[in-house]
Amino acid sequence: MSKRINAIDLNVYYGDFLAVEGVNIDIEPRSVTAFIGPSGCGKTTFLRTLNRMHEVLPGARVEGQLLLDDDNIYDTAVDPVTVRSMVGMVFQRPNPFPTMSIRDNVLAGYKLNGTRLSRSQSDQVVEEALKGANLWNEVKDRLDKPGSGLSGGQQQRLCIARTIAVKPDVILMDEPCSALDPISTLAIEDLINELKDTYTVVIVTHNMQQAARVSEKTAFFNIAGTGKPGKLIEYDETTKIFSNPSKKDTENYVSGRFG
Ligand SMILES: Nc1ncnc2c1ncn2[C@@H]1O[C@H](COP(=O)(O)OP(=O)(O)OP(=O)(O)O)[C@@H](O)[C@H]1O
Ligand SMILES: [Mg+2]
């Protein structure tokens, strides 16, 4: 279920613009890894290469290798749709399909990839995914109501349920709590802590406390200046990154002495 992610010399372009350069990183299965760094350093860009979402933009491309366990997801024989079913993504703003019911939102991944489920199979998928996202008790009596009728924090957990419903190996989260209140944020953080028993979780966050609370490893990205590529500066145990980083730039960033 949970897969290792290994990027080798990864360069990420938007047309001629090299946005992220030379990333080498090895992310353990069944762990939470945080990506931190200043705005524009390429956290989202790099994250989106991990499930081949980057290349959906015209002119966007990737060089290098990205291994999921031992398979290069950028191999020409690999279908990006398959990659996206193995590597799920949760976005900054909760984005349930507004007119779809809660139930159909959870099943959306199956509809998209054309898998037919019997009623009892789909009931089971819905219940398991909502329980996995810690949302079942709050919604079990209104599964046929629209997803948009939930609070922001509930909607984000619904999006997590939708992601885990298709049983991915990896879950990517891009600032999943930035639109949420502190209570919902804690609920998502608790959930991330549980998800790591089953999945490889990668989370982008601007919240240092959050990175320190939820992740085992932290990757610090930075840019040398406007127009320059973002780079992975330091990647280590989260406790080390926040208490005793090896690089001066990391120390300046995590201690708030930046720019
Ligand atoms: N669609 C795009 N086309 C061209 N350049 C882009 C595009 N999206 C992002 N970029 C550029 O790529 C670089 C990295 O952007 P990215 O969004 O990955 O940064 P980030 O670290 O996620 O920032 P933030 O913390 O603000 O979300 C920036 O210079 C940005 O302007
Ligand atoms: Mg971003």
What's the CATH code of the domain at 27?
3.40.50.300
Cα(first)–Cα(last) distance of the chain, in Å?
41
Protein residue with least CA distance to atom 25, ligand 1: 39
142: domain range? 5-254
Q: Residue 45 CA: which ligand 1 atom is closest?
A: 18
Q: Residue 57 CA: which ligand 1 atom is closest?
A: 1
pLDDT digits (tens, 9 = 90+) for 64-114: 999 999 999 999 999 999 999 899 999 999 999 999 999 999 999 999 888
* Interval between CA 43 and ligand 2 midpoint (Å): 6
Q: What is the mean pLDDT of residues 1-29?
A: 97
Cα 8 to the chain's mean position, in Å? Answer: 19
Protein residue with least CA distance to atom 9, ligand 1: 45
What does the radius of gyration of the chain's CA atoms come to, in whole angstroms? 18
Q: What is the mean pLDDT of residues 35-44?
A: 97
Q: How confident is the model at residue 1 (pLDDT cuts 50, 70, 90)?
A: confident
Instruction: Domain count for the chain, please give it.
Output: 1
Task: Give the model's pLDDT for residue 258.
Answer: 67
Domain assignment present for 259: no
Give me the sign of the Cα torsion angle 204, 209, 215, 219: positive
* Portion of the chain with pLDDT greater than 90, in percent: 92
Backbone angles phi, psi at 56, to 5 degrees: -70, -20
pLDDT digits (tens, 9 = 90+) for 96-109: 999 999 999 999 99
Does residue 29 have a pLDDT over 60?
yes
Residue recorded with tokens 């489920």: 117
Domain assignment present for 124: yes
Domain assignment present for 195: yes
pTM here? 0.95
Domain assignment present for 39: yes
Which residues line the pocket of ligand 1, CB cutoff 6 A?
Answer: 14, 17, 19, 37, 39-45, 57, 230
Cα pseudo-dihedral 245, 251, 256, 259, rounded to 10? -150
Q: What letter would DSSP give residue 229? A: P
